[in-house]
Chain A
Amino acid sequence: NAGVTQTPKFRILKIGQSMTLQCTQDMNHNYMYWYRQDPGMGLKLIYYSVGAGITDKGEVPNGYNVSRSTTEDFPLRLELAAPSQTSVYFCASSYLGTSGATNTGELFFGEGSRLTVL
């Protein structure tokens, strides 16, 4: 069982470069998320998606873009990399039903992508 797969695991960028972090899940989850984790901090939500074709901003969306063309894939795009975007990025997915009784909110995480911008 692959679960949530992120690529690449490590990347070094120069200021102003662009890149895409890939995320795919094989659990048929409707919700997908991108979080960033800075040292000594909890995870901050960048963007999330409730299903294919639907995305929304989280707490810290500036400098990032996302798309959700399929249920499985949720790539995160950095257009003009800045040193402030040096972080570990986690993709996650979950299944949330329409009934409150089924909404357990359990997330399944990828292993992370460590990005350094110099």
Chain B
Amino acid sequence: AQSVTQLDSHVSVSEGTPVLLRCNYSSSYSPSLFWYVQHPNKGLQLLLKYTSAATLVKGINGFEAEFKKSETSFHLTKPSAHMSDAAEYFCVVSDPDTGRRALTFGSGTRLQVQP
């Protein structure tokens, strides 16, 4: 069975400082991994995805994530936070080889950006 754990429910940074949102996963197969962002009262939007190609994945708005199989991690980073980055972020794992082919969501990390 697949699962995903977001290690921080809330992260607060100052504008212009680095962002680190942590995610660990568990999967029986070679998973696909995603980060989604949700702004208040909006649907979820895909930030980036890992699908067994390059382990360092670049996404939109300057975010990137590194797939580390030995650590079963897929942490999201950004060198310099912007006020517009304040949102809820979800780490998501997919096992395409399972019959269900659905996604498993982490519980989310709320990113707060201080001026």
> Which residues of A approach B to under 8 Å, CB–CB?
4, 31, 33, 35, 40-45, 48, 50, 56, 58, 90, 92, 96, 100, 103-107, 109-112
In the assembled complex, the Cα of A105 lies from the Cα of B31 at a distance in Å of 10
Name B79-115 residues within 8 Å CB distance of A: 90, 94, 96-97, 100-103, 105-108
A42 to B108, Cβ gap below 8 A? yes
Task: Tell me, rounded to whole Å, the shortest Cβ–Cβ distance linking A51 to chain B.
Answer: 12
B107 to A111, Cβ gap below 8 A? no
Task: Tell me, rounded to whole Å, the shortest Cβ–Cβ distance linking B43 to chain A.
Answer: 4
- Which B residues are CB-close (under 8 A) to A42? 90, 105-108
In the assembled complex, the Cα of A42 lies from the Cα of B5 at a distance in Å of 10
Point out which of A33, A40, A96 has the most chain B C-beta atoms below 10 A from its C-beta: A40
Q: Does B42 contact A (CB under 8 A)?
A: yes
Q: Which residue of B lies closest to A88 (CB)?
A: B41
Q: Does B17 contact A (CB under 8 A)?
A: no
What is the total of A-B residue contacts with beta carbons within 8 Å? 63
In the assembled complex, the Cα of A42 lies from the Cα of B100 at a distance in Å of 18
Q: In the complex, which of the residues A4, A40, A92, A106 contacts B9, with contact meaning CB atoms closer than 8 Å?
A: A40
Q: In the complex, which of the residues B45, B96, B108 contacts A96, with contact meaning CB atoms closer than 8 Å?
A: B96
Q: Which 9 A-B pairs have the closest CB atoms?
A: A42-B105, A105-B94, A103-B96, A109-B43, A43-B105, A111-B43, A109-B44, A42-B107, A105-B32
In the assembled complex, the Cα of A58 lies from the Cα of B101 at a distance in Å of 11
Query: A31-B101, A42-B90 provided; 8 other pairs, C-beta below 8 A?
Result: A4-B43, A43-B44, A43-B90, A105-B51, A105-B103, A109-B45, A111-B42, A112-B43
Q: Which residue of A lies closest to B108 (CB)?
A: A42
A48 to B44, Cβ gap below 8 A? no
In the assembled complex, the Cα of A43 lies from the Cα of B98 at a distance in Å of 19
Task: Tell me, rounded to whole Å, the shortest Cβ–Cβ distance linking A91 to chain B.
Answer: 9
- Which A residues are CB-close (under 8 A) to B44? 43, 90, 92, 107, 109
- Which A residues are CB-close (under 8 A) to B102? 33, 45, 48, 58
